[in-house]
Amino acid sequence: MIVGVIPARYASTRLPGKPLIDLCGQSMIERVWRAATACTVLDRVLIATDDERIVAEAQRFGAEAYLTSPDLPSGTDRCDALIRQLHLRPDVVVNIQGDEPLLAPNVITHLVQALRASGADVATAMSRILFADELTNPSVVKVVVDTSNNALYFSRSPIPYLRNESDGAAWHSAHTFWKHIGIYAYTLSALQRHVSLPPSPLERAEMLEQLRLMEAGARFTCVETEQLFLAVDTEQDAERVRDVLRSQQH
């Protein structure tokens, strides 16, 4: 069984209630859920939330949604909590970010296929960095991979450092840099291992939870995608998504 879980937290610091914001006639959580349910490799799609208002909205459009503790520290913990709450034993759990309303269903398919083919613990997505400001923006997480696309490290810093390229603004055209897209397909054992471990030193330094498993020796396989991802953390982000949706309607 392959289960997709969409963690949807109402109490967002920068944009409270963001799963419920309207994006051209649909709430953000509905857009993410519709993309996930269009993915044929998922046997079940669940919404894990901290708020009754999100449960009510999910029930309105026919989703399966459940309340989980508001005290859970991350979306990964929320995924694990719901799997345990429902006594499920899936082979794969896909953590589908609830703030990625432009999610394409085939990205999930490719992650599940890569996880199974590689024998890795986790499969995640990456895309090429095309602009210098993405490379220097610490909110854009970078990943370096080996020749088999196994992740070597995730960082908020531009990695690798180009010693022979003095103009940092030209780095993105002098070397292939990768942006990490925060959607994960976990084996059940990897997910359970993640939540059982304490935050690691590298995780605390970078504030990137995927480093917890990596530091413990887990293998991440990375899947290249050209799909557009626009995470919504602010009202400005939401307006950018609306612009994209309007352009797709014409």
Per-residue pLDDT of 217-248, as tens digits, reads 999 999 999 988 888 888 889 999 999 999 98
Alpha-carbon distance of 108 to 57, in angstroms, equals 24
Give the pLDDT score at 228: 85
Phi, psi for residue 125 in degrees, rounded to 5:
-110, 155
What's the whole-number mean pLDDT along residues 92-108? 94
The confidence score (pLDDT) of residue 12 equals: 78
**Can you tell me the mean pLDDT for 131-150?**
93
Report d(CA 17, CA 54) in Å as an integer: 9
Q: From CA 183, how far away is CA 169, in angstroms rounded?
A: 28
**C-alpha span between 189 and 94 (Å, rounded):** 13
- Domains, the chain, with CATH or none: 2-125+180-236 (3.90.550.10)
* In contact, 33 and 47? CB cutoff 8 Å: yes
Cα dihedral 231, 236, 239, 243 sign = negative
221, two tokens: 């396989």
Strand-pairing partners, residue 88, are none
- What value does the mean pLDDT take over residues 68-83? 94
**What is the overall mean pLDDT for the chain?**
93
pLDDT range class, residue 75, cuts 50, 70, 90: very high
The pTM assigned to this predicted structure is 0.93
pLDDT digits (tens, 9 = 90+) for 26-49: 999 999 999 999 999 999 999 999
Q: Looking at the predicted structure, is the pLDDT value of residue 250 above 80?
A: no
Query: What pLDDT score was predicted for residue 141?
Result: 95
How would residue 96 be classed by pLDDT, with cut points 50, 70 and 90?
A: very high
Per-residue confidence at 166, pLDDT binned at 50, 70, 90?
confident
- Tell me: pLDDT of 167 over 90: no
